[in-house]
Amino acid sequence: MKNLKGKKALITGASSGFGVDFAHILAGKGMDLIVTARRTDKLNALKTVIEEKYGVNVRTVAMDLSGFDAAEKLYAEVKDENIDMLINNAGYGMYGWFEKQDAAELNRMIQLNAVAACALANFFVKDFAAKNSGWILNTASFAGFNPTPFYAVYGATKAFLMNFSVALRTELLKNGKNVAVTAFCPGFTATEFVQTAGQKRSWFLEKTIGKSYPAAVEAIEALLKNKPVVMPRFMNRFGAFCLRFMPRSMAADAAFMSISEK
């Protein structure tokens, strides 16, 4: 296990799910943390647990990270703290028929999932490139591999994030920069995601949902090895492999059947 003592990570979306897992994993490797999310009580509770358990320093920044302005504000807040790792984990999904969804809420989701993540990566990659060291993990999704009915916009934001991550990693490698970028693409996982998205747990979901902590461990290990994409669990990797040979309309039909509540 790589020791990262003395280095510092910024984790967005740190109040629950993968964000909490990442905090434990990185603190266990000796990293000091800056954790951010909207829920102050959750952040403070996480800070107490992490500091007591691992003996590292944790700073909390409570804020809504939707959009470029929020990302710019967060960067201004922490840019002088010599951050070594950015975990772009903030995001959420909206389940349902697109025609019935609210445009303003869809915009907010796009701003959080894609715009804020891209802006933070842009701000921090400049710092990382200048010192020729750093790591960026972007939480994408299995949904980024194919058109996903009921999650049409969410899946599109994750496809953006996955392709952006791999392209950025390639630029850095070709430019001789020692900066790692990895897209983390989990499938359905036992976090708050499904409940927040407004999706009921279907038979398919109950049979295929995975645990978050082992997936988060795999994501961090992949990031430290500068792998372009990490997808936990064989069934997810096999599914993504099969999608390569399907027409996109067929892939969308398969997704529709697997996550429809009817």
* Catalytic residue ranges: 154, 158
Q: Which residues pair with 59 in a beta bridge?
A: 34
Q: Is the torsion defined by CA of 37, 84, 139, 160 positive or negative? A: positive
200 contact partners, CB below 8 Å, separation of at least 6: 261
Q: Which residues pair with 87 in a beta bridge?
A: 11, 137
- Amino acid identity of residue 76, one-letter, is A
- Residue whose tokens read 């359905």: 188
Distances (CA, A) of 72 to 67, 114, 124, 235, 256: 9, 14, 11, 38, 37
71 contact partners, CB below 8 Å, separation of at least 6: 65, 115, 116, 117, 119, 120, 123
Q: In 3D, which of 37, 32, 137, 33 has the Cα closest to residue 90?
A: 37
List, in sequence order, the alpha helices (H) in 96-151. Answer: 103-110, 117-131
